[in-house]
Amino acid sequence: MELNGIANIKIMIDRAVSENTESHTAISVELADKINSQLEILNRYMVAYADHKRSVISFQKWPNESEIDYMVKEPLWHEVRESPTNYPTLSEKIEGDK
């Protein structure tokens, strides 16, 4: 649901940028780029956090010490911000699963 919200915000920003005219400046391209960049990092963080939570829940349901190495490390915002390519977006994960 939250990722859908991110996608909707991105669509609204893209639409506002495309609707810029002399009489109607909805949003600057520079501001839109900054907002989109932050939304992408948020998307990456939320996907990584969801993967972490799924691994924790899975481990709690079927505890097996040999599987503890497969638990996904909890992401930290600054790690995602500094190395975004290490954390796929939802669309990148979907593309990778095809």
The structure tokens listed for 58 are: 């899975």
Return the pLDDT at 22.
52
pLDDT of residue 79: 93
Reading the chain (98 residues) residue by residue, the pLDDT tens digits are 566 777 788 888 877 777 765 545 556 777 778 888 888 999 999 999 998 888 877 666 655 655 555 667 889 989 999 999 999 998 898 888 75
pLDDT reported for residue 20:
65
The SS3 call for residue 62 is: coil
Q: Where are the domains of the chain?
A: 2-97
Cα(93)–Cα(52) distance, integer angstroms = 15
CA gap 39, 3 in Å, rounded: 10
Position 67 scores a pLDDT of: 54
